[in-house]
Amino acid sequence: SYELTQPPSVSVSPGQTARITCSGDALPKKYAYWYQQKSGQAPVLVIYEDNRRPSGIPERFSGSSSGTLATLTISGARVDDEADYYCYSTDNSANPRGVFGGGTKLTVL
Amino acid sequence: QLQLQESGPRLLKPSETLSLTCTVSRGSVTSSNYYWGWIRQPPGKGLEWIGSLYYNGSTNYNPSLKSRLTMSVDTSRNQFSLKLTSVTAADTAVYYCARHSNYYDSAGFVNTSPDFWGQGTLVTVSS
């Protein structure tokens, strides 16, 4: 079955740039999406279609995708950005199924 | 703003059927622009995509759950539902309903992705 691979954890100091990666064989042909999940809350979409930001998401959140690697970048990370981040995409089947990465715990301290 | 609310039994015994309903407010399940679906998250673990469906009844399921899973839509009540049979402790999770946006890939297949989530409901399977 198709898998998306993320690092389990990333740690940065406030004001630094945090980069979270997501690797998947189908990413050259499929969009990547990124979700932020704070403790006890439902996930929130922060990047869609590789690099587009939904209304209300701060500009410090950006996304990119090249080949089999998608990247979420948080520029000038804040303590409030501390959360779990999940990438999502779909597989290459004729009836594409959704797949989440394992999630990355971002620590900002 | 769109509102999604999950409802259904919170405690099940092994072998029973899990049934959840998502009520859509300030939006319509018959919108041609969106699919609707479910995601779950076991306590302390990551997210798992369960499946999605269109208002015409077309469904797409996670292969690992397909044999036990049925999703349906009730346009008259503006709701969509999930049924998962023969549950075990491994099905204990927070279940989220979510609106799904969609696009056609280069091969012409529709791909969906959650863009707005309900608050989630914890379903526990225990004897």
**Cβ–Cβ of A45/B52 closer than 8 Å?**
no
Identify the residue whose tokens are 């189908």.
Answer: A26
Q: Which residues 4-63 in chain A show a CB within 8 A of chain B?
A: 29-31, 33, 35, 37, 42-45, 48-49, 54
A7-38 per-position pLDDT tens digit:
999 999 999 999 999 999 999 999 999 999 99
DSSP letter string, B39-75: EEE-TTS--EEEEEE-TTS-EEE-TTTGGGEEEEEET
- Residue B58 in contact with partner chain A when CB distance is under 8 A: no
Residue B15 token pair: 């072998």
For chain B, say whether A3 makes contact (Cβ under 8 Å): no
> Do B24 and B79 contact (CB within 8 A), yes or no?
yes
Q: HSE on the CB side for B79, CA within 13 Å?
A: 14
Q: For residue A46, give the amino acid letter.
A: V
Establish if A97 touches chain B: CB-CB under 8 angstroms.
Answer: yes
For B40-95, the pLDDT digits (tens) are 999 999 999 999 999 999 999 999 999 999 999 999 999 999 999 999 999 999 99
In this prediction, residue A81 carries a pLDDT of 98
DSSP annotation string for A4-15? -B--SEEEE-TT
Say if B74 is an interface residue toward chain A (CB within 8 Å).
no
Q: Which residues pair with B36 in a beta bridge?
A: B53, B99
* Residue in A100, A104, A105 to test binding to B, most B beta-carbons within 10 Å: A100
Q: Are B100 and B34 in contact (CB under 8 A)?
A: yes
Show the beta-strand stretches assigned E in B1-127.
3-7, 11-12, 18-25, 35-41, 48-53, 59-61, 69-74, 79-84, 93-104, 110-117, 121-125
Contacts of B48 in chain A (CB under 8 A): 100
- DSSP secondary structure letter of residue B115: E
pLDDT, one tens digit per residue, over A43-101 is 999 999 999 999 999 999 999 999 999 999 999 999 999 999 999 999 999 999 999 99
Angstrom distances, CA of residue A38 to CA of A9, A41, A92, B20, B96: 14, 6, 30, 24, 15
